[in-house]
Chain A
């Protein structure tokens, strides 16, 4: 097949063909090299014991000193006995912590941002940007800065939080919020709660502005009609606003969950997974094993698991949304 035949599009014209060839061919090559190739390599790595320090086989360093191990990484993940190797045990902690974190972030985030959006929308138009800025500013800050700020708030001796508690309780409070492994509430480590609060503080601006935009898109006549029928503010929220926002809420919940699965920056800076792996989320586990311990095969296998978790949530979401739109 000649290159001429290959590019057939409407309004056949040599200039257009050249234009497409000159732009799309580089795009295909680029995406092939920087997206498809690493993707396939990443999946392949999950089946090898691999370190960048070893020479390995001739093709991508696979084989040789970096032997093919088949499904061994995935089989190892299913070893739930107490004497499983450290990487497997910390992986289990990682899955648990990541799921727990996402499961707490999503409802809390929505429970804060949705009423907040309604409140901000209810005040005078001129005042709205001031409040929006107050809650949106952390989104604009680098998460490393946020982690350092909150680390200072949680500091056992110098932190703001213990100082406030001291004022309230009237006696000295030295709680090591981020570093005491024995500190748990309902079996959930307090350090995880501490990170959760910092994360919510940083992240809620996103959902807030999305909800504000969604509220603004609700046509006025619906609210006016309800007002004429004599509904109060609470009924207005539950009967009019909430049902109309439902599609936005669902989409936001899924996006919030997916990004909570990927949490890294705050954890790495605030606790580095500690105390005793209690806040070691999956992405931190992957980072540590790939770049600190040079066990890239294992890290790639864990990446695949994290990818499958994300994919499952996305698929549930698309099912969910389709079901809504079908009638």
Chain B
């Protein structure tokens, strides 16, 4: 055997595994629903109605996107803005409270600290539907229904985040904190200048997860936001698809506009999201 052939054999042996025989077709099937949605968005209304349906669009058209974007009832930018306001606010406040109280529960003992931490842990076990109805009633009393604040104010504390950052804070040496105190740093300064940088990548990872959960949230926004102008993207998407009925080319164009931009962004930061999920075992 020539050296050239040997080289190719080694290359094939290194790159080809029997696993590919299963993995390649399976991952194509896993992509299929996305592809079906995207192709649907590029078909004409006439083609969408055809029986049996076509798989590839016969001629790609951008008209569906034009129709969706010009629909006066569907100011998509507004809904992007609503979703973004909620998600960003919640990421900022949850990262702040989680890191601050994680640090406090790791490094301070005060009367009732054990009991309080136990209570916070216990609330992780409570499914959200138990507080859903009274939560709605409270928001109604405070006139926060149909107000983006209704999705922000009750979401300031994430028990899981506090638990997570407490674990990280344990690894910060007490000497470091004491040294800062001797140097005359205030307590909040210590949190901001010393503790927060120590959390570093965990903040990014957990922030990304929080963003994703908020961005994709459905049930709670569905209850709180019933007026058109305050709706978020997931809610507007169901509203639009119900209204459009069988006009799947338009629904799919709207779905592509709602789902794809952020999905592509998420794809780029996927590594950190995966890290976050494996680090926390968190589920939606």
- Nearest B residue to A17 via CB reads B110
- Do residues B251 and A148 form an inter-chain contact, with CB atoms below 8 A? yes
Interface residue stretch chosen among B25-33, B60-68, B165-173:
B25-33
Residue of B17, B51, B223, B252 most packed against chain A (CB within 10 A) = B51
- Do residues B273 and A140 form an inter-chain contact, with CB atoms below 8 A? yes
- Contact partner of A158 (CB less than 8 A), chosen from B14, B53, B116, B212, is B53
- Do residues A41 and B134 form an inter-chain contact, with CB atoms below 8 A? yes
- Do residues B234 and A142 form an inter-chain contact, with CB atoms below 8 A? yes
Interface residues of B in 104-142 (CB under 8 A from A): 104, 108-111, 113, 116, 119-120, 123, 125-138, 140
- Do residues A152 and B248 form an inter-chain contact, with CB atoms below 8 A? yes
Assuming A24-B110, A296-B133, is B37 touching A152 (CB within 8 A)? yes
Assuming A20-B110, A150-B33, is B187 touching A307 (CB within 8 A)? no
Chain B interface residue count, Cβ-Cβ cutoff 8 angstroms? 92
- Nearest B residue to A8 via CB reads B111
- Contact partner of B219 (CB less than 8 A), chosen from A123, A131, A264, is A264
In the complex, how many residue pairs between chain A and chain B have their CB atoms under 8 Å apart? 254
Q: Complex: how many Å from CA A268 to CA B135?
A: 21
- Do residues A141 and B19 form an inter-chain contact, with CB atoms below 8 A? no
Q: Complex: how many Å from CA A38 to CA B142?
A: 14
Assuming A142-B216, A148-B237, A311-B125, is B36 touching A160 (CB within 8 A)? yes
Assuming A153-B36, A159-B53, is B281 touching A303 (CB within 8 A)? no
- Nearest A residue to B256 via CB reads A145
Q: Does A283 count as interface, using CB distance less than 8 angstroms? A: yes
Residue of B23, B97, B157, B267 most packed against chain A (CB within 10 A) = B23
Distance in Å: Cβ of A8 to nearest Cβ of chain B: 6
Write out, one digit per residue, whether chain A residues 130-155 have a CB within 8 A of any chain B CB (1) or not (0): 11111111101111111111111101
Distance in Å: Cβ of B52 to nearest Cβ of chain A: 5
Q: Does B263 count as interface, using CB distance less than 8 angstroms? A: yes
Q: Could you say which residues of chain A place their CB within 8 Å of the CB of B237?
A: 142, 144-145, 148
Q: Does A316 count as interface, using CB distance less than 8 angstroms? A: no
- Nearest A residue to B242 via CB reads A269
Assuming A24-B104, A131-B23, A135-B27, is B129 touching A303 (CB within 8 A)? yes
- Do residues B33 and A158 form an inter-chain contact, with CB atoms below 8 A? no
Q: Does A52 count as interface, using CB distance less than 8 angstroms? A: yes
Distance in Å: Cβ of B122 to nearest Cβ of chain A: 10
- Do residues B108 and A16 form an inter-chain contact, with CB atoms below 8 A? yes
Q: Could you say which residues of chain B place their CB within 8 Å of the CB of A138?
A: 30, 33
Interface residue stretch chosen among A28-36, A69-77, A185-193:
A28-36
Q: Does A265 count as interface, using CB distance less than 8 angstroms? A: yes
Q: Complex: how many Å from CA A6 to CA B212?
A: 40
Q: Could you say which residues of chain B place their CB within 8 Å of the CB of A129?
A: 271
Assuming A6-B111, A31-B157, is B51 touching A152 (CB within 8 A)? no
Q: Does A124 count as interface, using CB distance less than 8 angstroms? A: yes
Report the 3 A-B pairs with minimum CB-CB distance, sorted nearest first.
A134-B27, A19-B187, A38-B134
Some 5 contacts from A to B, beta carbons below 8 A apart, are A9-B110, A27-B116, A42-B130, A141-B263, A145-B255
